[in-house]
Structure 1
Amino acid sequence: MAWEDTMTFLMHRPRRTRARVLVLALLLLALVAPAGPALAHDRSDHRYGTTGAEFWQWALAQPAATNPLTDTTGEFCDEGQRGRTWFLAGSLVGPVTRECTIPYGKKVVFPVVNLGAFAFPDDPPEQRTEEYLRAQVAGFKDAATGLRVTVDGTVLRRSELRYEESRLFSVPMPDDNLFAALGVPGLPDGPFLLGPCVDAGYYVTLRSLRPGAHTVHIEGVIEAADPAQNTVVDVTYELTVQRTRGPGQHGG
C-alpha cells in the first residue's frame, strides 16, 4: 500500500516539487496545495511571532512511539513539556478525547487550526526560501472557518483565538520521528534538521486555569477547494490542573 494511503491525512505532491505543507487543526492533516510560483509576500502588516515555531519544535521533536499527536488517551501529553508553557497537541487519529494532568501555574497553549510549511533536506534550493514557504501558507487565514473553543462551558471570544504567522524556524528531528513512522519517502537516515519552516495559524493561550478539573473543546472547519475535502475539527481535552508540592510538603 502506498504510504499516502496509510495516513489519516491527505498529501498532494505536484510534479517537480517536494514541498510538504502540514495542517494542524487539532486534527493534524497534511495538505500540499499544487505549488505555483513563489509569490511575493507582503510583510508590512505582519509581526512574525514565536508561538507556532515553538509549538512545532515541541511536537515534531517527540519520538513517534510517544508522540502526543498520535496519542489516543492523553497518556503522552507530558512528553517534552518544559518551562512555563504547556502545549496541547493535535490529533492524527481523528476526533479524540484526551485526559491530561497539568501542573498549576503553567500557561496552556494550543492551535485551533494552523498550517506549517516545511523544507525537507532533499527539497530543491528554490523551495527552501522564506518567500517560497510563506507563499505556501498564504490564504490560510481565510480558509479556517467555524472556529470555536469552549472552556468549562464558556465559549471564548473570537479575539481570544489569535491569528499569527511565525518567524522562520527549524526542528531537530529524532531518529524515531513521526514522518519516518508515517512512511514519508526521501527522509535522511537517522536524525536530521527540518527547515527552514514557517507557520500560520490561530492559537489560544489559557493563563489562569485554577486547580481542579477543566474541559477544553476545540472545533472548526478547514475549507478546501472541494467541499467534500473539508476538514472538520472536534477535539476535547479533560484537564486536571494540580498544585505541585514543594520539599517537605505531604498530602494529608
Structure 2
Amino acid sequence: MCGRNQPPDVWFLAGTNGGRAVRACEIPNGRPIAVPVINSVGDAQSCAAFMGSAQGTVALDGKPVKPETYAGDSIMVEGVQGNRVTGEEGRFTATGCGLWVQLPSLAPGAHSLKIHGQSDDFSVDVDYVLTVATALA
C-alpha cells in the first residue's frame, strides 16, 4: 500500500490516526522521502493549540533526524466519504500543521525509520522498515 497515489518527485510515507504501527515499504531508488512526525488539519485556532505542545523524535538507521515545524499553512483538502480527519466531504480549504521530516533519497538496501510524535494526549509511534530498490543499470 505504500506505493498508492505517489507523485513522481517525492515519496510520501503515511502517519497514523494515533497509536502504534509497524510498516514495511518498498521505495524506488532516487526518490526523496517526506513523512509526518505528528500533524493535524483544522482551522488556524485548532492548529495553534495543537502546535503548542507538539514534539517528536525521528531516527533513520539509528541516527537522529531533526523534524521541521509547519505552524499552520493553508491547504486544499479532498475529503472522501467517511473522512475521519475532519468529517467533511468534497474539496475545501483548511489549515495544516505539524512536524515533518524530509529525507534525501536513500542508498539502495534496507533502512530503519523510527518516528515518535506527541501533542497533548494524541501520540504516534511508527516503525518503518524501508527497502530502497537497486538502481537500474
Q: Is 1:237 matched up with 2:128?
A: yes
Aligned to 1:91: 16
Identity of aligned residues (%): 30
Q: Residues 2-21 of structure 1: matches in 2 within 5 Å?
A: none
Q: Residues 1-252 of structure 1: matches in 2 within 5 Å?
A: 76-92=1-17, 94-117=19-42, 133-145=43-55, 147-156=56-65, 160-174=66-80, 177-179=81-83, 192-193=90-91, 195-223=92-120, 230-245=121-136
Q: Which has the higher contact order (CA 8 A, sep 6+)?
A: 2
Aligned to 1:69: none
Structure with the higher strand share, 1 or 2: 2
- TM-superposed CA distance for 1:93, in Å, is 7.2
| Cα RMSD, aligned residues only | 2.2
| Bigger Rg, structure 1 or 2 | 1
Contact 2:44 2:72 in 1 (8 A): no
2:45 alignment partner, SS class: helix
Structure with the higher helix share, 1 or 2: 1
Q: Which runs of 4+ in 1 moved over 3 A?
A: none
Q: Residues 165 and 232 from structure 1, CA distance in 2 versus in 1: closer, same or farther, beyond 3 angstroms? A: closer
What is the aligned residue count?
136
Query: Where does the alignment leave 5 or more consecutive residues of structure 2 unmatched?
Result: none
- TM-superposed CA distance for 1:200, in Å, is 1.1
- TM-superposed CA distance for 1:90, in Å, is 1.4
